[in-house]
């Protein structure tokens, strides 16, 4: 009879335990990136007992920003590039020369500040169903950037520091002086207009 040599076996039960423990450790310590959406505050629900009034908005107080299915941009009646949108919106909202074709300003009493000429400007954003998400977000960013820069300019001229360095109360004053009025319409075929 021949002696068969036994091959040594590896004990893999402890290896499986270690792999499981490592997996548990990495699952517990790893943070998953969370997607954040656009920060938009919806208007409050209307009171059921309130009377509905037709609000007429003066045409000069609205700028319509349209993005078609080819991601081309139209601000007012002018075809522009996304890189020009921020300056166009800043000029529209601030109306520095009191142009009668740009938004009106209303002298408004702001608590903690006094009276300030607040723009009645509204940005109406309309996009096509075929508009790319990238183009839509790029336009959104430029609109918000325009408002942020106007608020920053207000903060620097009023308080001598940037908007993000103001106290909460001062930031609220700046937000009331430079409101962010962006109206978004339901996507449709804007190229037919």
| DSSP secondary structure, 70-124, as one string | T--EEETTEEE-HHHHHHHHHHHHH-TT--TTSPPEEEEEETTTEEEEEE--EEE
Tell me, what's the pLDDT at 193? Answer: 47
Q: Is residue 52 part of a domain?
A: no
Q: Is residue 123 part of a domain?
A: yes
Tell me, what's the pLDDT at 59? Answer: 83
Tell me, what's the pLDDT at 31? Answer: 79
Residue corresponding to tokens 């903060």: 155
The count of structural domains within the chain is 1
Task: Say what the pTM is.
Answer: 0.68
Tell me, what's the pLDDT at 90? Answer: 94
Q: Which helix or strand (DSSP H or E) is residue 177 part of?
A: helix 168-177
Q: Which residues of the chain have pLDDT under 50?
A: 42, 193
Q: Is residue 35 part of a domain?
A: no
Q: Is residue 108 part of a domain?
A: yes
Q: Is residue 12 part of a domain?
A: no
Q: Is residue 153 part of a domain?
A: yes
Q: Is residue 184 part of a domain?
A: yes
Tell me, what's the pLDDT at 3? Answer: 66
Q: Is residue 33 part of a domain?
A: no
Could you list the residue range(s) of the whole structural domain that residue 129 is in?
A: 59-192
Tell me, what's the pLDDT at 169? Answer: 93
How far is Cα 182 from Cα 72, in angstroms, rounded to an integer? 19
Query: For the segment 135-154, what is each residue's pLDDT rounded down to a tens digit?
Result: 989 999 999 999 999 999 99
């Amino acid at each position: 009879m021949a002696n068969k040599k036994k091959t040594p076996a590896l004990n893999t039960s402890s290896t499986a335990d270690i792999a499981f423990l490592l997996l548990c450790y990495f699952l517990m310590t790893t943070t998953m990136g969370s997607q954040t959406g656009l920060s938009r505050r919806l208007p409050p629900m209307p009171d059921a007992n309130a009377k509905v009034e037709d609000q007429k908005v003066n045409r000069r107080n609205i700028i319509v920003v349209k993005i078609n299915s080819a991601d081309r941009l139209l601000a007012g009646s002018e075809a522009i590039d996304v890189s020009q949108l921020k300056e166009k919106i800043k000029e529209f909202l601030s109306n520095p020369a009191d142009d009668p074709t740009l938004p009106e300003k209303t002298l408004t009493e702001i608590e903690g500040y006094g009276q300030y000429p607040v723009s009645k400007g509204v940005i109406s954003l309309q996009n096509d169903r075929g508009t790319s998400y990238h183009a839509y977000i790029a336009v959104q960013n430029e609109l918000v950037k325009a408002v942020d820069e106007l608020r920053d300019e207000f903060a620097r001229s009023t308080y001598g520091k940037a908007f993000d360095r103001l106290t909460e109360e001062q930031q609220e004053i700046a937000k009331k002086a430079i409101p962010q009025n962006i109206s978004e319409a339901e996507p449709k075929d804007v190229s037919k207009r």
